[in-house]
Amino acid sequence: QLLESGGGLVQPGGSLRLSCAASGFTFSSYAMSWVRQVPGKGLEWVSGINGGGASTYYADSVKGRFTISRDNSKNTLYLQVNSLRAEDTAVYYCAKGGCSNTICARGSQGFDYWGQGALVTVSS
Amino acid sequence: QSALTQPPSASGSPGQSVTISCTGTSSDVGGYNYVSWYQHHPGRAPKLMISEVSKRPSGVPDRFSGSKSGNTASLTVSGLQAEDEADYYCCSYAGSNNVVFGGGTKLAVL
């Protein structure tokens, strides 16, 4: 099970930290990703991290503004989102990769479990 | 990185088969056997239906199948059922460009 939290309303230029609490599997053995969906639009991969946490990857649209991290002792995935823009308004999903390695952090084996999502609204 | 190209909509009657295409480039779909497909009912978590072009996860009905030819991947749903009505997204590993999703296809069961 994956459970996101930390979403909400934030002003342009503001920051948030999204969390994803994992249970039911050995968290450290799997890469994780964040995927978002702008209301009425399609899915967009945002960021991925390998099982150990040493390798991180970002979409060009968020590079330099978002930071993915994980605490394997707490079975939790994070996404620090800074310098938020209106176009970052979306439902943010955490998703589990099919293995631990770096290409699994980028969906090579698909994302086999997803959370219910956390809504981030960027508006003044 | 441009999104993969999917038809915006597809439809079929119960019991029929429908195929959804997903066209990319040699840098994503055509370059790797790492295409996955997701079913998304609005308001619910997306569900993995196919991984690595044609692998069906446990619990996914065998009515769902995937294939690839060149830069185009396809998802076929056979024996359409009412509960198959949903949005479907393809996704590909894209090397240094990381990950790219398709724009999504709304499947209607008439």
Share of chain A above pLDDT 70, in %: 100
Tell me what pLDDT residue B74 has. Answer: 98
Place of tokens 């968290």: A27
Residue B96 has pLDDT above 90, yes or no: no
**Interval B74-84: pLDDT, tens:** 999 999 999 99
Tell me what pLDDT residue B1 has. Answer: 63
At B92, is the secondary structure helix, strand, or coil?
A: strand
Give the mean model confidence (pLDDT) for residues B17-26. Answer: 97
Residues A114, B89: C-beta atoms closer than 8 Å: no
* pLDDT-based confidence at residue B94 (cuts at 50, 70, 90): very high
**CA–CA gap between residue B90 and residue B37 (Å, rounded):** 4
Q: What is the DSSP string of B26-66?
A: TTTTTT-S-EEEEEE-TTS--EEEEBTTTBPPTTS-TTEEE
β-bridge pairing B105-109 and B9-12: parallel
Tell me what pLDDT residue B6 has. Answer: 97
CA–CA min distance B89, chain A (Å): 8
* pLDDT-based confidence at residue A20 (cuts at 50, 70, 90): very high
Tell me what pLDDT residue A105 has. Answer: 87
Q: Is A23 left (phi over 0), alpha (psi -120 to 50) or beta?
A: beta
Identify the residue with better confidence: B46 or B1: B46
User: Which of A55, A58, A108 to mutate to probe the B interface, most B CBs <10 Å?
Assistant: A108
Tell me what pLDDT residue B76 has. Answer: 98
β-bridge pairing B86-93 and B105-109: antiparallel
H or E, element range at A119: strand A118-122
Give the mean model confidence (pLDDT) for residues A24-28. Answer: 95
**CA–CA gap between residue A4 and residue A112 (Å, rounded):** 16
B86: tokens are 């949903």
DSSP 8-class letter at A11: -
Tell me what pLDDT residue B98 has. Answer: 87
Read off φ and ψ for residue B35, nearest 5 degrees.
-100, 135
Question: Which of B32, B48, B102 lies nearest to residue A110, judging by beta carbons?
Answer: B48
Tell me what pLDDT residue B97 has. Answer: 75
Identify the residue with better confidence: A13 or B42: A13
Name which of B92, B101, B82, B106 is nearest B14 in CA terms.
B82
Which residues of B fall within a CB distance of 8 Å from A106?
Answer: 93-94, 98-99
CB within 8 A of A17, min separation 6: which ones? A6, A78, A79, A80, A81
Residues B45, A109: C-beta atoms closer than 8 Å: no
Q: Over the range A59-77, which residues count as b (16 or more CB within 10 Å of their CB) and which as e?
A: beebeeebebebeeeebbb
**Interval A49-97: pLDDT, tens:** 999 999 999 999 999 999 999 999 999 999 999 999 999 999 999 999 9
Which residues of B fall within a CB distance of 8 Å from A43?
Answer: 38, 40, 46, 89, 91, 101, 104
Residues B101, A116: C-beta atoms closer than 8 Å: no
* Residues belonging to chain B with any Cβ–Cβ distance to chain A shorter than 8 Å: 1, 3, 32, 34, 36, 38, 40, 44-48, 50-52, 57, 89, 91-94, 98-104
A26: tokens are 């050995």
* C-beta neighbour count of B17 within 10 angstroms: 12
Which residues of B fall within a CB distance of 8 Å from A59?
Answer: 1, 98-99
Which residues of A fall within a CB distance of 8 Å from B102?
Answer: 42
